[in-house]
Amino acid sequence: MISKVRAAMTGLVGSKSTKQSIKPDVCQQDKEPPKTEIPSPRVPCRPGFLSLTPEELQASEDHTSRIILSPKNPGELHWGTGYAEVVNAGKSLHNEDQACCEYITVEMRDGKSNDCLKEFPESGQSIIQKQESLDQVDDEIGFSYWGLFDGHAGCGCAMFAAKLLHFHICDQLRDLVSILRQSVATPAPLCLVHDTTENAAGTPKEKKTQPPLDTELRFHLEKQVFPESLVIGALENAFREMDKQIETERTTHKIDGGCCALVAVHLMGKIYVANAGDSRAIIIRQGKPIPMSQEFTPETERQRVQFLGFLKPELLGNEFTCLEFPRRIQQKELKKRMLYRDHTMTGWAYKTIVEDDMKFPLIYGEGKKARVMATIGVTRGLGDHDLKVYNSNIYIKPFLSCAPGVRVYDLSEYDHDANDVMVMGTDGLWDVIKDEEVADIVQRVFASHDNDDQSNRYSLVAKELVLRTRGVLKENSWRLASGSQASVDDISVFVIPLAEGHRSL
Amino acid sequence: MISKVRAAMTGLVGSKSTKQSIKPDVCQQDKEPPKTEIPSPRVPCRPGFLSLTPEELQASEDHTSRIILSPKNPGELHWGTGYAEVVNAGKSLHNEDQACCEYITVEMRDGKSNDCLKEFPESGQSIIQKQESLDQVDDEIGFSYWGLFDGHAGCGCAMFAAKLLHFHICDQLRDLVSILRQSVATPAPLCLVHDTTENAAGTPKEKKTQPPLDTELRFHLEKQVFPESLVIGALENAFREMDKQIETERTTHKIDGGCCALVAVHLMGKIYVANAGDSRAIIIRQGKPIPMSQEFTPETERQRVQFLGFLKPELLGNEFTCLEFPRRIQQKELKKRMLYRDHTMTGWAYKTIVEDDMKFPLIYGEGKKARVMATIGVTRGLGDHDLKVYNSNIYIKPFLSCAPGVRVYDLSEYDHDANDVMVMGTDGLWDVIKDEEVADIVQRVFASHDNDDQSNRYSLVAKELVLRTRGVLKENSWRLASGSQASVDDISVFVIPLAEGHRSL
């Protein structure tokens, strides 16, 4: 089926943090990804909300000074979110991290028109007015959105995803507006009874997509599905659609590389954190860290990746073995007994080495050095459709997943004060700092600025976190205050005040 | 490679709880499973340690009286373990649960002889003496063992596994004796440097299997593997070997059905709980329950099972869809939009129903009613090699896994008193009782028998747990004290005193 979606996203590239509404019309089930114009990936680009001048942009890419950047007007980001970033120490030419912070209004899909351009908010329309009148508008909901995208093997994919993933989320939510506006305790209708008519091609054309109450007979074995699960499903499908769009448009737009994606969505009183890769989010409540994401790496996903290699050995290209060994095997060790583990095992056992075991292990290495097919250190993310094992025709993409893990935090279950925050960071942050240390720094920054202007308190925390993990340059080496190796990777951090979530409920 | 293992297990069938040592010799890498004589599965059989007379055995199978059985001499089981069981309320002709409690001595495999019959302990040998002299014997270690096997579709598989799984564990551990006797903090050698010679067939014949210190060059990327991981690997491989043996010998021995297997091994101060299926173990320490196993059911393993169906659609026989729907779809719902989730999703989303979605879902139902291919309610276990979807040629075994989940509890990390126990139970217990209620019953039984003979205190707890979950027969229905439905399934329970673990360290 060919869809007729034409999402009018042109012109949103590099936008500042704004409150936006999109309404791409979908008249058929299988949606074509929204289209947009993106800058050439060869042009370095930083988040629009930093409002960098060309000179500042150039200075931001200096791998020796590693200037820490944050928005010029503290508090300008949605919820007064703090943000800071720094470029790597020379690992790649550009900063491959990207970020996005938006408020999005989701309008119910009603199918009245196929021409979404007409319905797209004209420039100059008061979006804030839209948000304020939200409670009076039955056919829309809004969500706050923060996204971090840690690119690899190029900037293109992270830039593309930073520009578009929230629109995919919006698009997925458009069918759910009326369901989500019900009580969270009301089960979702299992089947939507549409008024459908056949179009010329014989495929159904949906005229009325607003779900009525579920009037179907209740069956013996029937699951109840609550709105929260639909939002999780919407996030999962948005990641999938985003990845499909990258695949489809990667040649046209020269989208190079891939990226980890970590996004937070605040919707109807809950924060949904969706993560694909090794970025991380933690909530700090009353000074205590609460993990809000899981990492997807060759170590944490070894069994899934090995299982696929076991079931589809043709994907290994006769170069790799899906068994794991604790180190490379030497030719002289053939017929000796060595530790191994397969996709069914968490422990280790000895096996006699045979010729087939001499192939390179599909998963190899430990910690930050663990790799899939000796190439990539994360197992989930967006893009990487062209990624191959060096000097071979073996594609790595089948082993990577674009499905995020999603965790939900119900803001209404707790009281939050101004010191309770969610910290989102790319791996550049977490590589050199523990959750407890982050919680400690956050508390100390707040304590030392209690009497200052409060508009920039979250920005100060973000900058301090980047400063502490970037460290200082001593004798050509970036060092933490403790003297140990600081982060030489790109670092990007959001610090989100949770108390704001109560105000916007 | 053809192995020459001939394990001398004849005569062990229905043995009482004893301390045993086996030494099947393996001269080659790929081991043939140990062989034994098992009773015909058509003859009902209860654990040997119950020492039932034929009349008692018959009475034990009365589905109306549902007599609770436990060992005649309280305290006769290893560690003074308590045990109790009861037959189902008519669900199957026989009690399909089986149990085993043993102390096993593992002798180092030394390859001195291929004739293990010579080395097998003669009847009458003092096994207790063997255990007592353990510390003086460098080439052996001992482990305590408890196993529960919950059969389905026949008694054969559970009986076979109850008789043999501990021998497979012993066999896996035989190569590890010297490594396990080292400090737990000493990494295991990654490669065993054997003195091997080629035999006539050109395959290596191991003369010396005792691992020397790892003298290999340390590589840049090298993992350290500690003894605990080797025990986990040994348990995982023992389950696999047991399953292979059931497959190989199922025709000869008429091994019908399959079984869940939950085993606990106490070795060198740690308890390893290996579980494949929906039996469960919890530790109750200072009155608080600590889960010691995870359950493997169509609900907990939905994504793994769907992933396999997605990758190997030929296994679905054109009868099943690997998508999940919250209920059966009706023909009239074709082209309507219904909730679904696939192997990548934890949330739900709507999709337009197409003809292919009308197939029966690979995973269907909720809670205890969830099934793989409308047939089986567990996703891991032993056996089931012949299990097919009713009235079809579709095998279910590929979707089942014999790999256990293994959890480790280090006894030395805590002080345990006489009220700290591990409770192992088949699903007949857990279906009608929560962890906290079990902890509560355990504490109350201990409190009310503080001044009594202490030899049967764990037996009293086991009997009370079975009594409380079996309930009483009221108007043809088994009822809990609360009035709600009691367990109509077979129930088997071990209550293991943890303080004993310190004594046997």
Which tens digit of pLDDT belongs to each residue from B262-278?
999 999 999 999 999 99
Q: Which of A172, A177, A82 is nearest to A406 (CA)?
A: A172
Structure tokens at B59: 């009475």
Q: Which ranges in A4-145 belong to alpha helices (H)?
A: 54-60, 116-119, 127-132
- CATH number of this structure's domain A2-181+225-296+403-503: 3.60.40.10
Confidence of residue A18 (pLDDT cuts 50, 70, 90): very low
Lowest mean pLDDT among A171-175, A190-194, A427-431: A190-194
Q: Which residues contact A333 (CB under 8 A, 6 or more apart)?
A: A353, B191, B216
The answer on pLDDT for A78 being more than 60 is yes
What's the pLDDT score for residue A453? 72
Model confidence over B478-489: pLDDT tens digits?
999 999 999 999
Determine contact, residues A354/B249, Cβ cutoff 8 Å: no
Q: How many residues does chain A have?
A: 505
Read off the pLDDT of each residue in A143-152 and give the average, rounded to a whole number: 98
Burial class of A437 by CB neighbour count within 10 A (0 to 12, 13 to 18, 19+): middle
Q: Which of A395, A309, A320, A372 is nearest to A344 (CA)?
A: A309
Structure tokens at A418: 């101004």
List the single residue in B329, B338, B347 with the smallest CB-CB distance to A232.
Answer: B347
The answer on pLDDT for A1 being more than 70 is no
What's the pLDDT score for residue B222? 84
Residue B433 corresponds to which amino acid?
A: I
What is the nearest CA distance from A282 to chain B, expressed in angstroms? 21
What's the pLDDT score for residue A137? 61
Compare A269 and B123 and report the one with higher pLDDT: A269
The answer on pLDDT for B22 being more than 50 is no
What's the pLDDT score for residue B162? 97
Q: For helices A227-249 and A156-173, give the axis angle rounded to 10 degrees.
A: 140
Determine contact, residues B345/A236, Cβ cutoff 8 Å: yes
Determine contact, residues A486/A469, Cβ cutoff 8 Å: yes
Q: Is B327 within 8 Å of A192 when comparing Cβ atoms? A: no
Q: Is B222 within 8 Å of A311 when comparing Cβ atoms? A: no
Tell me which residue has tokens 């071979």. A392
List the single residue in A345, A349, A403 with the smallest CB-CB distance to B344.
Answer: A403
A344 interaction partners in chain B (CB closer than 8 Å) = 236, 240, 401, 403
Model confidence over A363-403: pLDDT tens digits?
999 888 899 999 999 999 999 999 999 999 999 999 999 99
Q: Is B365 within 8 Å of A230 when comparing Cβ atoms? A: no
Q: What are phi and psi of B84, to 5 degrees?
A: -150, 155
Model confidence over A212-240: pLDDT tens digits?
444 444 455 789 999 999 999 999 999 99
What's the pLDDT score for residue A505? 54
Model confidence over A299-319: pLDDT tens digits?
999 999 999 999 999 999 999
Give the chain B residue whose CA is nearest to the CA of A312: B311
Read off the pLDDT of each residue in A9-22 and give the average, rounded to a whole number: 36
Burial class of A248 by CB neighbour count within 10 A (0 to 12, 13 to 18, 19+): middle
What's the pLDDT score for residue B154? 92
The answer on pLDDT for A142 being more than 90 is yes
The answer on pLDDT for B288 being more than 60 is yes
Compare A340 and A34 and report the one with higher pLDDT: A340
Read off the pLDDT of each residue in B319-325 and give the average, rounded to a whole number: 96
Determine contact, residues B154/B256, Cβ cutoff 8 Å: yes
Compare A402 and A31 and report the one with higher pLDDT: A402
Interface mutation vs chain B, best among A303, A333, A348, A366, most B CBs within 10 Å: A348
Compare B336 and A213 and report the one with higher pLDDT: B336
What's the pLDDT score for residue B7? 34
Read off the pLDDT of each residue in B161-166 and give the average, rounded to a whole number: 97
Read off the pLDDT of each residue in A42-71 and give the average, rounded to a whole number: 92
Indicate the domain borders of chain B: 2-181+225-296+403-503, 302-377
The answer on pLDDT for B446 being more than 50 is yes
The answer on pLDDT for A8 being more than 50 is no
What's the pLDDT score for residue A266? 97
Q: How far is B308 from A377, CA to CA, in rounded Å?
A: 25
Percent of chain B surpassing pLDDT 70: 79
Determine contact, residues A264/A146, Cβ cutoff 8 Å: yes
Confidence of residue B133 (pLDDT cuts 50, 70, 90): very low
Lowest mean pLDDT among A362-366, B64-68, B128-132: B128-132
What's the pLDDT score for residue A222? 84
Determine contact, residues A5/A31, Cβ cutoff 8 Å: yes
What's the pLDDT score for residue A478? 97
| pTM for the predicted model, two decimal places | 0.85
B172 interaction partners in chain A (CB closer than 8 Å) = 349
What is the nearest CA distance from A236 to chain B, expressed in angstroms? 6
Model confidence over A331-364: pLDDT tens digits?
999 999 999 999 999 999 999 999 999 999 999 9
Residue A392: other Cβ atoms inside 10 A:
12
Determine contact, residues B26/B7, Cβ cutoff 8 Å: no
What's the pLDDT score for residue B74? 76
Q: Is B349 within 8 Å of A236 when comparing Cβ atoms? A: yes
The answer on pLDDT for B241 being more than 70 is yes
Model confidence over A108-128: pLDDT tens digits?
987 433 222 223 233 323 333
Q: Is A191 within 8 Å of B328 when comparing Cβ atoms? A: no
Confidence of residue A27 (pLDDT cuts 50, 70, 90): very low
Read off the pLDDT of each residue in B356-369 and give the average, rounded to a whole number: 92
List the single residue in B225, B308, B365 with the smallest CB-CB distance to A326.
Answer: B225
Q: What are phi and psi of B58, to 5 degrees?
A: -65, -45
Q: Which of B453, B503, B465, B501 is nearest to B74 (CA)?
A: B453
Confidence of residue B9 (pLDDT cuts 50, 70, 90): very low
Task: Identify the three-state secondary structure at position B494.
Answer: strand
Model confidence over A166-189: pLDDT tens digits?
999 999 999 999 999 888 888 999
What's the pLDDT score for residue A151? 97
Tell me which residue has tokens 């095992």. A345
- What letter does residue A50 receive in the DSSP assignment? G
Q: Is B232 within 8 Å of A346 when comparing Cβ atoms? A: yes
Residue A420 corresponds to which amino acid?
A: D
Chain A to chain B, count of Cβ pairs less than 8 Å apart? 169
Read off the pLDDT of each residue in B149-163 and give the average, rounded to a whole number: 96
What's the pLDDT score for residue B75? 77
What's the pLDDT score for residue A30? 38
Compare A79 and A74 and report the one with higher pLDDT: A79
Structure tokens at B286: 């200072």
List the single residue in A194, A222, A347 with the smallest CB-CB distance to B236.
Answer: A347
Compare A1 and A178 and report the one with higher pLDDT: A178
What's the pLDDT score for residue B138? 72
A365 interaction partners in chain B (CB closer than 8 Å) = 221
List the single residue in B188, B232, B312 with the smallest CB-CB distance to A339.
Answer: B188
What is the nearest CA distance from A301 to chain B, expressed in angstroms? 13
What's the pLDDT score for residue A135? 43
Residue B449 corresponds to which amino acid?
A: H
Structure tokens at B315: 């296994």
Give the chain B residue whose CA is nearest to the CA of A219: B327
Read off the pLDDT of each residue in B144-162 and give the average, rounded to a whole number: 96
Please give the mean pLDDT across all residues of chain A. Answer: 84
The answer on pLDDT for B111 being more than 50 is no
List the single residue in B190, B312, B344 with the smallest CB-CB distance to A339.
Answer: B190
The answer on pLDDT for A105 being more than 80 is yes
B366 interaction partners in chain A (CB closer than 8 Å) = 221, 223
Q: Is B232 within 8 Å of A347 when comparing Cβ atoms? A: yes
Read off the pLDDT of each residue in A235-259 and give the average, rounded to a whole number: 96
Q: How far is B495 from A200, CA to CA, in rounded Å?
A: 70
Q: Is A236 within 8 Å of B345 when comparing Cβ atoms? A: yes
Compare A247 and A35 and report the one with higher pLDDT: A247
HSE value, Cβ hemisphere, 13 Å, CA-based, for B219: 16
The answer on pLDDT for B140 being more than 60 is yes
Task: Identify the three-state secondary structure at position A71.
Answer: coil
Structure tokens at A12: 């949103």
Please give the mean pLDDT across all residues of chain B. Answer: 84
